[in-house]
Amino acid sequence: MAGCGSREAVPDSRFVLLDGSTLTSADLRGKVTLVNFWATTCVSCVKEMPMLASTYQKYREQGFETIAVAMSYDPPAWVQNFASTRQLPFKVALDNTGQLAKDWGDVKLTPTTYLVNKQGHIVKRYVGEPEPDALHRLIEDLLKA
């Protein structure tokens, strides 16, 4: 998948959100987007959620979007409960069939996070928790571009 210097286009994806609405890759054009594959049973995923939430809050007014994609093995009720009890401020999607994880580079490890530029290209892929300061600098650069 995307290494540091590559600009791979995001896969044509359809995200089904917890509220039943859908979002497609095309809907994200023009925004810098963080796509995070996670699971409620993944300790480091749970640990990084407050950082992802504060990052979203910090940049959302500038055209930044975040979608947390729950892995297919994560029971939807657990995901719903996690999102509501922790008041996640960003969009949460369910990958019921595992197709999103497959489309985004056959994601198996969580957390796996992608940062996508306004043109819909993957700029960076993180396996594990991103370092917040470096992530914020990259988001700021992409928002200016």
pLDDT score at 3: 41
Q: In the predicted model, what is the mean pLDDT of residues 72-95?
A: 97
Asked whether residue 1 carries a pLDDT value surpassing 80, the answer given is no
**pTM (predicted TM-score):** 0.94
Asked whether residue 2 carries a pLDDT value surpassing 50, the answer given is no
pLDDT band at 8 (very low <50, low <70, confident <90, very high): confident
Tell me whether residue 1 is in a domain. Answer: no
pLDDT digits (tens, 9 = 90+) for 96-112: 999 999 999 999 999 99
pLDDT score at 6: 56
Integer Cα distance of 83 and 77 in angstroms? 10
Tell me whether residue 120 is in a domain. Answer: yes
pLDDT score at 142: 97
Tell me whether residue 32 is in a domain. Answer: yes
In three-state form (DSSP H/G/I as H, E/B as E, the rest C), the secondary structure along the chain is: CCCCCCCEECCCCEEEECCCCEEEHHHHCCCEEEEEEECCCCHHHHHHHHHHHHHHHHHHHHCEEEEEEECCCCCHHHHHHHHHHCCCCCEEEECCCCHHHHHCCCCCCCCEEEEECCCCEEEEEEECCCCHHHHHHHHHHHHHC
Tell me whether residue 94 is in a domain. Answer: yes
Tell me whether residue 3 is in a domain. Answer: no
Tell me whether residue 31 is in a domain. Answer: yes
Tell me whether residue 53 is in a domain. Answer: yes
Q: Rounded to an integer, what is the distance from CA 9 to the centroid of its chain?
A: 15
Tell me whether residue 70 is in a domain. Answer: yes
Asked whether residue 7 carries a pLDDT value surpassing 90, the answer given is no
What is the chain's Cα-based Rg?
Answer: 14
Q: In the predicted model, what is the mean pLDDT of residues 36-49?
A: 97
The residue range of the domain holding 35 is 8-144
Q: What percent of the chain has pLDDT over 90?
A: 94
Integer Cα distance of 50 and 117 in angstroms? 22
pLDDT digits (tens, 9 = 90+) for 43-76: 999 999 999 999 999 999 999 999 999 999 999 9
Question: What CATH number is given to the structural domain containing 99?
Answer: 3.40.30.10
| Total tally of structural domains belonging to the chain | 1
Asked whether residue 5 carries a pLDDT value surpassing 90, the answer given is no
Integer Cα distance of 19 and 79 in angstroms? 12
